[in-house]
C-alpha cells in the first residue's frame, strides 16, 4: 500500500470519450459568515482521471460540499483553477451531473418527469431523453415506478431516481455529495453495490464525497483525504482492489489494510 499522489494513468483503459477528467489545482475558498471570514479550502489540488472513480474523504465541516459546488461551477474559487477536460470551469456546466445528499426530487412531479427535469431545463430533446430515461430506470429496476410520485417511494428508491436524473443528460462527470448519508445502513450497502454496477456500465468519471471509509474504499480507484477546515489534501491513496468488488471483498484482508490505513490518517487528524 502506497500513499501515492496521482499514480493513475490519465485515462483508464476502456473509458468512453464521453468521460471527462477533472483537474483541481491550488484551490482556495473563503466565505463570509456572521463570525467573520472562514476559509473553507486551502491550496487544494487533486485529479480525477477520465473514467475514474475518485472519493473525497473527510470529517464533517472540512469543506467537502463546498468542493462539490466549486467543481460544478456553482461557486467561484477565491484562488486556484478547476478544469474539466482541460477547459476551465467558470460557471455551471452541462457536462456535470450532481447527486445530492437528499434525493431532492420535485414532489409534484412523477418519477419520469423528475428524471427529465435537467433535460427540460437545458431545453434539450425531450422525446429522445424520455427513451434514455426509461432505459436508465430499467437499469436500476425502477421502470415500473415511472409514473409514481416521490412520496410513494422509499429513501433508497428516491436516491436511485436521483442518480438516474444525474445521468439522463449524459454528463461527462458525476458529482456525488454523500448520496447515501440519509439512508439506513442496509440500504446503503445495497446502494454501494448498485452504484458500482451503474458506474461500470456507463463508464463516467465520478467524484464521490463521503465521510465513510468503507464506502470510499469499496467504490473508488483513488481516495483523497481532506483535513478539517480549512480543507487541504492530507493523503491520496490508490485502491488497487480488483473489480468488480462485492460485499465479500469488504471482508478481505487487503480491504481491511486499506481501510485501516485511512483510519490511521483520521486518528492522526484528531490528535493534531
Partner 1 sequence: MKEAWKTALASTATLAALVLLWAWAVHAGALDRSVLPPPQEVAAAMKAGLVDGTLHPHILATGRAALAGLAIGVGLGVAAGALIALVPLLEAFLLPLVTAVQSVPKVALAPLIVAYLGFGAASKVFTAAMLAFFPAFIAAVAGLRGADRSHLDLLRVCGASALHTLWNVRLPAAAPYLLASLQVAVVFSLIGVVVSEFIAATEGLGYVIKARSQELDVSMMFAAIVVLCAMGVAGGLLVRIAQRRLVFWVRS
The one segment of 47-55, 87-95, 209-217, 253-261 that binds partner 1 by CB under 8 A? 87-95
- Regarding 106 and contact with partner 1 (CB under 8 A), the answer is yes
CA 164 to CA 49: how far, in whole Å? Answer: 22
CA distance readout (Å), 123 to 126, 163, 254: 8, 20, 47
Residue in 11, 45, 85, 102 binding partner 1, rule: CB under 8 A: 102
> Given the complex with partner 1, which of 58 and 97 has the nearer CB atom?
97
Decide whether 55 or 72 has the Cβ nearer to partner 1. Answer: 72
If the CB atoms of residues 179 and 237 are measured against partner 1, the closer one turns out to be 179
Binding mask 149-168 for partner 1 (x = CB under 8 A): xxx-----------------
CA nearest neighbour of 228 among 194, 269, 197 = 269
Kindly tell me which residue out of 169, 204, 229, 245 binds partner 1, with binding defined by CB under 8 A: 169
Phi-psi domain of 158 (left: phi exceeds 0; alpha: psi -120 through 50; beta: other): alpha
Three-state secondary-structure class, residue 221: coil
184-191, long-range: CB within 8 Å, 24+ apart, which pairs? Answer: 184/155, 187/154, 187/155, 187/156, 188/215, 189/247, 190/156, 191/156, 191/159, 191/160
Residue 40: closest CA among 268, 228, 175: 228
Q: Which of 9, 26, 88, 92 is close enough to bind partner 1 by CB under 8 A? A: 92
The answer to whether residue 69 forms part of the interface with partner 1 (CB under 8 A) is yes
From candidates 39, 85, 104, 187, binder to partner 1 by CB under 8 A: 104
Indicate the SS3 state at residue 104: coil
51 with 204: CB under 8 angstroms? yes
Cβ proximity to partner 1: between 169 and 245 the closer is 169
Nearer to partner 1 (CB atom), residue 62 or residue 129: 129
Three-state DSSP state, 165: helix
The 108-137 contact track toward partner 1, x by CB under 8 A, reads x--------xx-xxx---------------
Closer residue to partner 1, CB minimum distance, 3 or 122: 122
**Residue 99: strand pairing partners:** 176
User: Judged by CB under 8 A, how many residues of this single chain contact partner 1?
Assistant: 24
Q: Does 107 bind partner 1 (CB under 8 A)?
A: yes
Kindly list the residues in this chain that would bind partner 1 in the complex (CB under 8 A): 69, 72-74, 92-94, 96, 98, 100, 102, 104, 106-108, 117-118, 120-122, 149-151, 169
Amino acid at each position: 500500500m502506497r500513499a501515492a499522489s496521482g499514480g493513475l494513468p490519465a485515462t483508464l483503459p476502456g473509458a468512453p470519450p464521453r468521460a471527462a477528467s477533472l483537474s483541481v489545482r491550488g484551490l482556495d475558498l473563503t466565505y463570509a459568515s456572521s463570525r467573520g471570514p472562514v476559509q473553507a479550502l486551502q491550496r487544494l489540488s487533486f485529479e480525477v482521471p477520465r473514467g475514474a472513480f475518485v472519493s473525497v474523504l473527510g470529517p464533517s465541516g472540512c469543506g467537502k460540499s463546498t468542493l462539490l459546488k466549486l467543481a460544478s461551477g456553482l461557486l467561484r474559487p477565491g484562488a486556484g483553477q478547476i478544469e474539466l477536460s482541460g477547459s476551465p470551469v467558470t460557471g455551471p456546466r452541462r457536462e456535470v451531473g450532481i447527486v445530492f445528499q437528499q434525493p431532492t426530487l420535485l414532489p409534484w412531479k412523477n418519477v419520469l418527469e423528475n428524471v427529465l427535469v435537467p433535460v427540460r431545463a437545458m431545453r434539450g430533446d425531450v422525446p429522445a431523453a424520455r427513451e434514455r430515461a426509461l432505459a436508465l430506470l430499467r437499469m436500476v429496476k425502477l421502470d415500473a415506478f415511472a409514473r409514481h410520485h416521490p412520496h410513494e417511494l422509499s429513501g433508497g428508491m428516491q436516491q436511485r431516481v436521483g442518480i438516474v436524473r444525474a445521468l439522463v443528460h449524459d454528463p461527462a462527470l458525476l458529482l456525488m455529495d454523500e448520496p447515501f448519508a440519509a439512508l439506513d445502513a442496509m440500504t446503503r450497502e445495497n446502494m454501494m453495490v448498485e452504484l458500482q454496477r451503474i458506474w461500470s456500465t456507463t463508464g463516467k468519471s465520478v467524484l464521490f464525497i463521503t465521510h465513510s471509509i468503507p464506502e470510499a474504499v469499496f467504490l473508488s480507484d483513488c481516495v483523497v483525504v481532506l483535513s478539517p477546515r480549512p480543507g487541504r489534501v492530507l493523503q491520496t491513496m490508490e485502491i488497487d482492489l480488483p473489480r468488480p468488488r462485492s460485499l465479500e471483498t469488504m471482508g478481505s484482508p487487503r480491504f481491511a489494510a486499506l481501510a485501516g490505513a485511512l483510519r490511521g490518517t483520521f486518528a492522526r487528524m484528531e490528535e493534531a
